[in-house]
Amino acid sequence: MRLFDTHCHLQDERLLPEVDAVVTRAATAGVRYMLCCGSSEDDWGAVIDLAYRYECVIPALGIHPWHIGAVRGGWNERLEHLLRDHPEVAVGEIGLDHVLEERNDDEQMEIFYRQLILARQLGRPVSIHCRRAWGSLMELLRREPGIARNGVIHSYSGPVELVEELQRHGLLLSFSGSITYERNRRAREAVVKVNREHLLFETDSPDIPPDGHEGNNEPRTMVQVVETVAGLRGVPVEQVAKDAYSVASELFLPSRV
Binding site for Zn ion (CB under 5 A): 93, 204
Residue 247, burial from CB neighbour count under 10 angstroms (0-12, 13-18, 19+)? buried
**Of 5 and 93, which CB lies nearer to Zn ion in the complex structure?**
93
- What is the C-alpha separation between 112 and 2, in angstroms, rounded? 32
Q: How far is the CB of 49 from Zn ion (least distance, A)?
A: 19
Q: How many CB atoms lie within 10 A of CB 235?
A: 14
- Residue 92's φ and ψ, nearest 5 degrees, are 160, 155
**Of 3 and 97, which CB lies nearer to Zn ion in the complex structure?**
97
**Of 69 and 231, which CB lies nearer to Zn ion in the complex structure?**
69
Q: How far is the CB of 166 from Zn ion (least distance, A)?
A: 18
Q: How far is CA 235 from the centre of its chain?
A: 23
**Of 85 and 174, which CB lies nearer to Zn ion in the complex structure?**
174
Q: How far is the CB of 238 from Zn ion (least distance, A)?
A: 27
Q: How far is CA 158 from CA 19, 133, 226, in A?
A: 32, 9, 19
**Of 128 and 163, which CB lies nearer to Zn ion in the complex structure?**
128
Q: How far is the CB of 94 from Zn ion (least distance, A)?
A: 10
Across 101-150, where does the E strand assignment appear?
126-131
Residue 60, sorted as left (phi over 0), alpha (psi -120 to 50) or beta, turns out to be beta
- What is the C-alpha separation between 49 and 16, in angstroms, rounded? 11
Q: How far is the CB of 39 from Zn ion (least distance, A)?
A: 7
For the sheet containing 3-8, what is the strand order?
3-8, 31-37, 57-61, 90-97, 126-131, 151-153, 172-175, 199-201
Cis peptide before 65 (omega within 30 of 0): no
**Of 97 and 204, which CB lies nearer to Zn ion in the complex structure?**
204
Name the residue type at position 48: I
**Of 131 and 142, which CB lies nearer to Zn ion in the complex structure?**
131
Q: How far is the CB of 93 from Zn ion (least distance, A)?
A: 5
Q: How far is the CB of 9 from Zn ion (least distance, A)?
A: 6
Please name the helix (run of DSSP H) or strand (run of DSSP E) that holds residue 118, with its range, or none. Answer: helix 105-122
